[in-house]
Structure 1
Amino acid sequence: MAGPSTRFVLFPGRHHLLTRFQADYLRRLAEDGATTIVWAVTSANHENTKRNPVPYHRREAAIERFSLLSGLRSLVVPIFDTAYTDDFAEVTLKNIAVATGLELTPADTLVACSTPEVAKLYERLGFTIAQVEADPELRTTPERPWDVLLRLAAGDNTWRELTHPATVDVFERYRLVDEIRMVVNDPLVGDEGGLTVTRDYRTYVEAFAGAAERKWDAVRQYVQPGRIVDIGCGAGAVLELADREPGLHESDLIGVEVARHLFQECLHKKAQGVFRNANVYFFHRNVLGGAVLKDRSVDTTLTFALTHEIWSYGRQRESLLQFARRIHDHTVPGGVWINSDVCGPDDPHRPVILRLVTDDGDNPASPRRDLASLDSAEVRRHVGGLSTRARLDQFAVDFAFPFDYEALPDGSVRLELGAAMDYLTRKDYIDSWLSETKEQFCGLSFADWTTLLTEAGFEIAPASTAVRNDWVIDNRIAPVASLTDLDGRPLDWPTTHILTVAHRPWNE
């Protein structure tokens, strides 16, 4: 335990949940009453992710209450997440010095840490380690806080018996229990709060911002004033345009974004005064994990380039129907859901012949099967260097939705129309290749969408339509590909996108 010269106990960790054991252990470390516990709360800039389901300010509130109830003198310091470094301990100590003015040294500080890899970093600097839950002198091994939190997420109410009353109090007052369960059990979102770790968010934001005005112009006439929600709002580009509409200046503009990187960009824009409307709000949520907005509370819901992700990362039609029903529930009678996204051809299973050029890149004997082990720059170089024909072979290896295709003697390929369009509409996304190949653009046709929306309880407005992006066809697809039926007759390129305008019936 602490020696006579110990003035501080440094306790690094994420500290999402505090346990009764920790209270007893820290009291023993600080038994003289003059020792200060320095809580270095790591990942303080992360919240609503599987690894970090509790926001920093709630963690800090629980620590302060924990300290009061336990009779401990504490300092709480946020430590923002950084890329992995062997200098993590030094970085933490420097953060503490900047935040508090304290220069913690091995002469006056004991480090409390149960994670061996982290403890070694402090030992290397000369600090003595108290191993908390891993302390070999303990008669029984106590449950670690994260394991207790997983009990909570699993619906096991024994978490309350192990958790300190301070955490229980904060979780209940701020209604965090259900939120933690939702985030930890979320079927779509990864540990760090994004749909995929391989997406290049910089490129994604730039591309979406460039298309935002075109998207807004296509839907603005259908938007109903009141409470307007953009689900999957990205970095808020469409809401910026809604913010400039004179007819919407008294509306609430609400963005919902699941990807942490994009959500943080939304908050940054709001802090910088990008939005003139005072009633602009952002939620970091996945609507599949639980209701974000109250039933019958939203006049207009907007979704752009989102629904194919729900299809792809969830359970395809089951997840998309669940999503549609949730939007239906939060829409006021007469309110509208406007959806713009990619879609598949009317006859996706039709067999076709696809001819692709081979002289615009390399044509290796076989595709690589190890791209997931490469860094993003190497993936980009390899895929970008392939010919259009060779890239199809690579796509077939990496695509999360397997399809059959047959290489014919004349160099053409026989496959289904839906698979052909999934490749052709994705082949140029080399910056986030391993992310894009996890997504299926052609899962639903326009007719499939009509059936699904009706099943969810919506009425389909006449403005709903399937369209073909001729710019993509003329500039990306037609120059390197041609499509025929099995008898060699040329086929028109099919539709690539949908716009659906769906109303909740007035009589509901």
Structure 2
Amino acid sequence: MPNSPRYVLFPGRHHLLTRFQADYLHGLAAGSGATIVWAVTSANHDNTRRNPVPYHRREAAIERFSLLSGLRSLVVPVFDAAPTDAFAEVTLKSIAVATGIDLTPADTVVACSTPEVAKLYERIGFPIAQAEADPLLRTVPERPWDVLLRLAAGDESWRKLAHPATIDVFERYRLADTVRTVVNDPLVGDEGGLTATRDYRTYVEAFADAADRKWQAVRRHVRPGRIVDIGCGAGAVLELADREPGLHESDLIGVEVARHLFSECVHKKAQGVFRNANVYFYQRNVLGGAIFADRSVDTTLTFALTHEIWSYGSRRESLLQFARRIFDHTAPGGVWINSDVCGPDDRRREVILRLEAGDGENPAGPRHDLAGLDSGEIRRYVASLSTRARLDQFAADFAFPFAFEDLGDGAVRLELGAAMDFLTRKDYVDNWLSETKEQFCGLSFAEWADLLAEVGFELDPASAPIRNDWIVDNRIAPVASLTGADGAALDWPTTHLLVVARRPHNS
């Protein structure tokens, strides 16, 4: 280790700074006046469990920390990248590009308590100071992430361990509430998405292709003013709203929980896609807490969202909570327009489903190892199955178990809701493991009407259950037929719904 290092490289996410870190860094810099180089990793990520605090707030806390501690610092953002054994080299190059400084083992000590990361720097010759993992310490200090988890759990002792700089920035920008909401979010994964298996590229393409049809179906029900699209994806519907002359003075607000999609929205705005100056995007989960003030929103739009809340949350309880939040933020006379999948009214009815078995492979049974394959292997395998064999695989992977009886010759006996869940999902081979985590037929239209009435909404006459005949004619009918338990042919049921729910003027 250099006797008088010029620099102390301190890589980490740095969401929370501790009093221990101030003392430890002072010890490393004592006598040499070394500059602390804070390599803030995952700098392009925020609002996820792994990264709940945005980079610019982390940077502010570090600068405040440096001022209060009397340490000379440089703060460098390091964008997230795929896992690599060259992480140390990538970080050093990022620092060189940002500052013009080439850190070397001859003039730099790396402060790092994570053994896996420390080894990457040690491998290329850098001396390591182990910080919280230093075996010479009399007592083992809590790591910053553990202190942050104390905060998230509501344990106020985090304040005794956190540095005053973090406390100050968290209080001024109300970050404690943000951290609690994000870390404790029941729906969103570590990386800011509903599921790690979703291919967001194909998701964005599919939604963009359908955006015009969706907008044309709802535009006449939109009330000008403050218009919010929850689950806005990559902002395709808001792009169409932006072009409406009658909405040019409205605020257009997109809310998206998935980090990948939110980033695309921000990128579009930066590129000048929107003409309306009052276009805003928030990365939030509405179930995590109120976003908008009560009675402040004129129109709320949700497309292909509510089935995800049902599927990843607590079914009807989560949907009811979501509907109440929307009711609360809707202005009297305002409207919630919801377009999504929907189950048949008699989804518990026992039916006989006959499926094509000659349009693909028919293995002896379903595989139970798809989660260990890459997306390409999953896609090729599922696509190779016959429609009948695909039902077996769907039943094995579906997060909402259902029973069926094999009657032979491609026929099975099962409930109508389960049949429609399979038939409306069987062709989604690009996102198979993601789609099998979601239930399309959780609620019927009548049950939706009851839920909305319970919250206080009134249904506009435009509200209706819908059958998507394109899906029936092109995806379902060519490979399947449906009869009742008595053998009588049945018509294909509802697949979607359009809900136009209004908050009464006197509420």
**TM-score, normalised via structure 2 length:** 0.99
Separation in structure 2 between the aligned mates of residue 411 and residue 279 of structure 1, nearest angstrom: 55
1 CA distance for matches of 2:4 and 2:123?
20
Q: How does 1:47-446 map to 2 (within 5 A)?
A: 47-446=46-445
CA distance in 2, matches of 1:338, 1:359: 42
Contact 2:5 2:32 in 1 (8 A): no
One-letter code aligned to 2:312 = Y
Would you say 1:469 and 2:468 are equivalent positions? yes
Give the aligned residue type for 2:329: H
Tell me if structure 2 keeps the 8 A contact 1:257–1:286.
yes
The superposition leaves residues 324-374 of structure 1 with CA deviations (integer Å, 9 ceiling, x where unpaired) of 000000011110000000000010000000000011110000100010111
Deviations 1:262-289 (A, max 9, x none): 0000000000000000000000000000
**Stretch of structure 1 that moved more, 425-434 or 405-414:** 405-414
Match of 2:500 in 1: 501
* Distance in 2 (alpha carbons) for counterparts of 1:384 and 1:376: 12
Native 8 Å contact 1:5 1:107 kept in 2: no
In structure 2, C-alpha distance between the alignment counterparts of 1:408 and 1:475, rounded to whole Å: 25
Q: What CA distance in whole angstroms lies between the structure 1 residues aligned with 2:493 and 2:129? A: 66
Which of structure 1's runs of 4+ aligned residues deviate more than 4 A? none
CA distance in 1, matches of 2:32, 2:3: 12
1:411 is displaced (CA, Å) by 3.1
- 2:16 is paired with a residue whose SS is coil
Secondary structure, aligned partner of 2:290:
coil
Contact kept? 1:153, 1:181, Cα under 8 Å: yes
Q: Deviations over 1:368-404 (max 9, x none)?
A: 0010111111100110100000000000000000000
Q: Distance in 2 between matches of 1:481 and 1:410?
A: 12
Note if contact 1:19-1:163 (Cα within 8 Å) is conserved in structure 2. yes
- Residue 451 of structure 1: how far off its partner (Å): 0.4
Q: SS of 1:431's equivalent?
A: helix
Write the letter of the residue equivalent to 2:41: T
CA distance in 1, matches of 2:352, 2:373: 33
Q: Structure 1 regions of 5+ residues with no counterpart?
A: none
Distance in structure 2 (CA, Å) of the matches to 1:29 and 1:456:
59
RMSD value, Cα: 0.7
Deviations 1:428-457 (A, max 9, x none): 000000000000000000001000011111
Amino acid at match of 1:153: A
CA distance, structure 1, for counterparts of residue 186 and residue 468 of structure 2: 32
- The alignment partner of 1:432 has SS state of helix
Per-residue Cα deviation, 1:276-326 (whole angstroms, up to 9, x for no partner)? 000000000000001111111100000000000000000000000000000
- 2:41 is matched with which residue? 42
* Residue identity matched to 1:29: L
Shift of 1:33: 5.4
Contact 1:356/1:482 (<8 A) preserved: yes
The answer on whether the counterparts of 2:2 and 2:107 sit within 8 Å (CA) in structure 1 is: no
CA contact (8 A) 2:356 2:410 kept: no
AA in 1 matched with 2:391: L
Shift of 1:3: 3.9
The alpha-carbon distance between structure 1 residues 175 and 33, as it changes in their structure 2 partners (threshold 3 A), is: farther
How far has the Cα of 1:5 moved from its partner? 3.6
Q: Is the 8 A contact 1:333 1:506 kept in 2?
A: yes
Partners of 1:40 and 1:78 within 8 A in 2: yes
User: Distance between the aligned counterparts of 1:336 and 1:90, measured in 2?
Assistant: 53
Alignment match, 1:27: 26
Looking at structure 2, the residues matched to 448 and 221 of structure 1 have their Cα atoms a distance apart, in angstroms, of 25
Q: 1:7-28 CA distances to partner (integer Å, 9 max, x unpaired)? A: 0000000000000000000011
* C-alpha contact 2:242 2:252 (8 A) present in aligned 1: yes
Structure-2 separation of matches of 1:419 and 1:312: 14
Give the drift of 1:487. Answer: 1.6
Q: Measure, in 1, the Cα distance between the counterparts of 2:478 and 2:88.
A: 55
Unaligned runs of 5+ in 2: none
Deviations 1:193-217 (A, max 9, x none): 0000100100000000000000000
- 1:32 Cα shift? 2.1
Aligned 8 A contact 2:366 2:396 in 1: yes
Give the SS at the match of 2:338.
strand
State the secondary structure of the residue aligned to 1:341: strand
Output the amino acid matched with 2:185. D
Question: How far did 1:488 drift?
Answer: 1.3
C-alpha distance in structure 1 between counterparts of 2:317 and 2:473, whole Å: 34
- AA aligned to 1:72 is L
Q: Which amino acid aligns with 1:402?
A: P
1: CA distance, partners of 2:449 / 2:383: 37
State the alpha-carbon separation in 2 of the partners of residues 158 and 42 from structure 1: 26
Q: Find the aligned partners of 1:5 and 1:175 in 2 and give their Cα distance.
A: 40
Native 8 Å contact 1:33 1:72 kept in 2: no
Q: Is the 8 A contact 2:343 2:495 kept in 1?
A: yes
Q: Secondary structure, in 3 states, of the residue corresponding to 1:253?
A: strand
Output the amino acid matched with 1:203.
Answer: T
Does the 8 Å CA contact 1:346/1:446 hold for their aligned counterparts?
yes
Query: Per the alignment, in what secondary structure is the counterpart of residue 352 of structure 1?
Result: strand
Deviation string, structure 1 residues 204-255 (Cα, Å, up to 9, x no partner): 0000000000000000000000000000000000000000000000000000
* AA partner of residue 412 (structure 1): A
Whichever residue aligns with residue 10 of structure 2, its letter is F
Identity %: 80
Whether the 8 Å CA contact 1:256–1:284 is kept in 2: the answer is yes
Q: Provide the secondary structure at the position in 2 that maps to 1:93.
A: helix
Give the counterpart letter for 2:415 in structure 1: E
